[in-house]
Structure 1
Amino acid sequence: MAGSETPGALDGIVVLDLTRILAGPTATQMMGDLGATIWKIENPKTGGDDTRAWGPPYAPTPDGQDTDLSAYFMAANRNKKSIAVDLASAEGQRVLRQMAARADVVIENFKPGGLVKYGLDHATLCAAHPGLVYCSISGFGQTGPNRDKPGYDLMAQGYGGIMSLTGDPDGQPMKVGVGIADVMCGMYATIGVLAALRHRDATGEGQHIDLSLVDAQMAWLINEGTNFLASGQNPVRRGNAHPNIVPYEVFAAADGHVILAVGNDGQFRRFCDFVGRPDLAELPEFATNPARLENRVGLIAEITPLIAARSMAEIIDGLEARKVPVGPIHTVKQALSTDQARARHMVVPMQANGAGTVQVLGNPLNFSRTPVRYRSAPPRFGQDTDEVLQSLARSDEDHTG
């Protein structure tokens, strides 16, 4: 992990962050990790970002009292300055317009049109500042028949199709275990902002980015979405099985479960040799992946008891030695406690204001020249208000002096 003196890829970029919950904060945390200055605006009437109250667990004070640093909030809000501003007030709007004049990027997740009455919408700010990159995140986007409907991760997963593919074939549709629609929307937002900044730097032109949770979720249907477009057949839930590769799923071992991910015919032959049934790889109905896909039920019936007769360690060691993809199913505790997680710095301790040391998940990007920096822990509500507003005031004095 780099020290604070190491330059970041986005050093000098200022982001006015009018987002809350998860999608927008995911994007701005990523930009903050890369060196951008993030001004996180929080509503003093509500105590700030909604997720500050989405606990327990919370980071406690030294005497054991809960802080406003819920684990959920800390997941997406490091490397930011928290500034308490009431955008519903005339003074708050003046301050935010002042901040927008200093910013390279504005990112917001209000309902479409929700900022017009405050004079903080993209049309108003982009007209005043032609080089501004303005990103709007909403449930369904700025256009379309559903533009005014609210957007939450669970609803996006349902509307966008991923829940119909997730879960046991005989169970109910199931959401992914984390807010993946929000997170992926935040990742798309980051990509969009970076692309728009490159265009701005080349031409001087800013622009508006219109991004929705549902559009993003449909985009990452990936192979199952294109399976439908190519075949006209609606994909179905398969539990842990893969729609296009067999065998590629979870199997019970004698003492737990393992993941088997056979990606080609050579790996399948080596798998069959390991389980003592090399003849299976020679049968026409199993010899190739298209054949195995067609005869999925029969093949799984053949290999399930062969795997169940062996321990997890035997299976993993034996198949790894044969270069057949295989692995364990970790709990979150096990995953974050592995030697691999430690070697890759995927758990990062940080010093939080009034809450001692907190731990956050690491950023997976590893740059050779401009490494990710963990400059500041997730902020307490409004902790940077005076510092930032006084800095703006001094800047204005310098400009007018």
Structure 2
Amino acid sequence: MTAPSRIPYELLIGWRYTRAGRSSGRNGFISFISGVSMLGIALGVAALIIVLSVMNGFQKEVRDRMLAVVAHIELLATDSEGFADVTGLMAQARQHPSVLAAAPFVAQQALMARGDDMRGAMVRGIAPELETQVTDFTLQLPPSVRDALQPGSFNVVLGGELARALGVQVGDRVTLVAPGGQVTPAGVMPRLKQLTVAGLFDSGHYEYDATLVLLHIDDAQRIFRLTSPSGVRLKLKDSQQARSVASDLAAQLGPNVIVRDWTRQNRNWFAAVQVEKRMMFIILTLIVAVAAFNLVTTLVMTVTDKRADIAILRTLGASPRSIMTIFVVQGATVGVLGTLAGLLLGLGVAFNIDVIVPAIENALGASFLPRDIYLISRMPSDPQSADIWPIVLLSLAMALVATLYPSWRASRINPAEALRYE
């Protein structure tokens, strides 16, 4: 039993059952249910792609702002004395082909005070001429501010949030309270140093804007009584290779150097983002699953409606396997069309979300990401093939699985029983 064309008759009949329907009657209702299943799969796939793309966009925005402040890799001494030959260490680190630049630094915790206001801060001593090669946000500082960080000037650059918390502006003086006091006849007295605010910076990351203080590395060593820098900051050609490069440097530099890459410094944040992505994937996959398993209802109703057709095909020589194939084709067609529609819809929204969201905000007169609350005022999106392909394959797999049982039941229909009341 073959069709005149070379296309297997199972495919032709399965496709005919998928698109068949009248404006009224049982066939029309079955086609309506099939269309609803297709629409549900499309919306579920699109929702998954859009949500994961937006989460990737937020992660990328925060990561880029974070990497503008932190180094890709930090080399730290195993003791508190720092590195005596920091120049040699920098030269040795630059020998790695992935390292672009290196800069020494001093990092210490301290208190910043002005009047009755006092805030904890991370004081970072930098060499301005080298630091601009390692971190991007220092390039955004005006040249006059970078030039103000001269040895012996004791000028500082504060994060904007920290300056607002202390109530200081450029030109004001603040007091740095260093850890570890000095012993006097009256007891242990804290070490204080008056500093002049030479400038402010806004990195776009609240954690650093509220805690980071920059001053010249020589001034930092004098304040904290250090004889050498605390470590070296490195910039790589590709920040995503930081973990492998850190492993290479750890083996190259030996056990006396602690190598720490940016992914380990912010491990908890990245782990939390990954957990959120997994949970959103699981939750939204349930939408696709519900739509896919609506195919079971569609196919069961189709099998019931087509019992006479199935019996006639069996009497003409169609095997149970061919009958099963017909209904698998019908269900798979709905799954494929729904998945493709969802893929196109999801990618269309994800790649144009910077246009769609502002249009919705203008129409509703609302702002989804107010500038005074969120660091990011626009909706970012970053579609990634590593997320999209699993969504597509999972949707197709669930649609195929949903067709198996009704198709198997169709193949078990007895022609004599089906034709008895026809």
Common fold by TM > 0.5: no
Q: Which has the higher helix share?
A: 2
Task: Please tell me whether Structure 1 or Structure 2 has the larger radius of gyration of its CA atoms.
Answer: 2
**TM-score range normalised by the length of the shorter chain:** under 0.3
Give TM-score, length-normalised by structure 1. 0.18
Higher relative contact order (CA 8 A, sep 6+): 2
